[in-house]
Structure 1
């Protein structure tokens, strides 16, 4: 499976996770925030995630 070497990913449950290694197969991803101000890692997520 082809992957994007610029987007590392270890979420095997995602539809776009490369099954061969820890990369994403998308050309780009959307990073989203959960609060008005993203001031911690927990305030952000990969908005491109889709369940397998």
Structure 2
């Protein structure tokens, strides 16, 4: 495996890992959201700002 292929592979793996983290956190946030009062929506919105989708 050349270094260029290696970099491409590790970049793809990182992207997959990040997307998995986003999905997992989104599910957790939806669960959290079910237990929140209407005025607390800002907590969920604030959490979304921490993620960058590649």
TM range (shorter): under 0.3
TM-score norm. by structure 2 comes to 0.22
Q: Which protein has the bigger strand share?
A: 1
Which has the greater radius of gyration? Answer: 2
Tell me: higher relative CO, structure 1 or 2? Use CA pairs within 8 A at least 6 residues apart: 2
* Structure with greater helix percent: 2
